[in-house]
């Protein structure tokens, strides 16, 4: 299983990871993997400005893995049907499936079984009130990791909207959790002084346009993350 499936969330937060999501270009994927990020994400949700057709996904993952074999390839989907399972399983270039739709806890369990032990499964939760965080415990028992993003009407992610950090103070869902929404170099230090996620997920905060990343901003984000890692090291 990917590293995220078994790492304790409390200790992992001191070594906060970075995922860059919404990639569409293999050369950019290779360059970003070479910088040392722990994961890259590809969006397989039609209608998203960062949507990447199936035939272009494996070459992008392969380009990243040639630079860093440990860089996780994440496939972002929403409410996948059983007819789509073949494209989600091992052998399509990715190591993690990230569910970003309205999947129930029971559906997550079904997909966990269907995908098998060789594929990581993460669930994104769109948070619009502190009470929404109450669902983390139930989902944490059904998947390998959670990703928390801000709720925006009619948009599943990549909006740049932020979850208020006070809502997340002391969060401990008994599974690794990633924080998305407004992750950009300018606020990494403030984020990690307030909360201790397993990882950060950046997309629009490091883009020149949807689907294309500004490599200078990615590098800046990594430097800010390294500085924050050092500041919270035991």
CATH assignment of the domain containing 150: 3.20.20.70
Residue range of the domain that includes 67: 3-126+133-232
Comparing CA positions, the residue from 201, 224, 150 lying closest to residue 18 is: 201
Q: What is the pLDDT of residue 10?
A: 37
- The residues pairing with 74 across neighbouring beta strands, listed in sequence order, are 41, 96
Q: What is the pLDDT of residue 9?
A: 36
* Strand runs labelled E in 38-87: 39-43, 72-77
Domain count, the chain: 1
- The residues pairing with 147 across neighbouring beta strands, listed in sequence order, are 124, 178
3-class DSSP assignment, residue 46? coil
Per-block mean pLDDT, blocks of 10 residues, the chain (234 long): 37 74 98 97 95 97 98 98 97 97 97 96 95 95 96 56 90 92 93 94 94 97 88 48
Contacts of 26 (CB under 8 A, 6+ apart): 59, 60, 62, 63, 64
- The residues pairing with 56 across neighbouring beta strands, listed in sequence order, are none
Q: What is the pLDDT of residue 11?
A: 37
DSSP code at position 192: H
Q: What is the pLDDT of residue 170?
A: 85
Residue 170 burial (10 A CB sphere; 0-12, 13-18, 19+):
exposed
Give the pTM. 0.88
Q: What is the pLDDT of residue 161?
A: 74
- The residues pairing with 155 across neighbouring beta strands, listed in sequence order, are 152
Q: What is the pLDDT of residue 159?
A: 52
């Amino acid at each position: 299983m990917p590293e995220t499936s078994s790492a304790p969330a409390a200790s992992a937060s001191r070594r906060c990871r970075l995922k860059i999501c919404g990639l569409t270009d293999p050369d950019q994927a290779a360059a970003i993997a070479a910088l040392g990020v722990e994961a890259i994400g590809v969006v397989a949700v039609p209608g998203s400005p960062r949507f990447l057709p199936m035939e272009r996904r494996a070459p992008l993952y392969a380009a990243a893995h040639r630079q860093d074999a440990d860089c996780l390839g994440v496939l972002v989907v929403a409410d996948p049907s059983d007819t789509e399972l073949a494209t989600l399983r091992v052998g399509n270039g990715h190591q993690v499936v990230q569910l970003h739709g309205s999947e129930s806890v029971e559906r997550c369990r079904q997909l966990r079984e269907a995908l098998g032990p060789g594929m990581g499964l993460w669930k994104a939760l769109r948070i619009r009130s502190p009470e929404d965080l109450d669902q983390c415990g139930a989902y944490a028992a059904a998947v390998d990791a959670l990703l928390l993003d801000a709720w925006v009407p009619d948009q599943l992610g990549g909006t740049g909207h932020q979850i208020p950090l006070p809502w997340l103070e002391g969060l401990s869902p008994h599974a690794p959790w990633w924080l998305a929404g407004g992750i950009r170099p300018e606020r990494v230090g403030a984020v990690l002084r307030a909360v201790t996620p397993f990882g950060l997920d950046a997309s629009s905060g490091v883009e020149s346009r949807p689907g294309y990343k500004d490599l200078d901003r990615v590098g800046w984000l990594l430097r800010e993350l390294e500085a924050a890692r050092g500041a919270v090291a035991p």
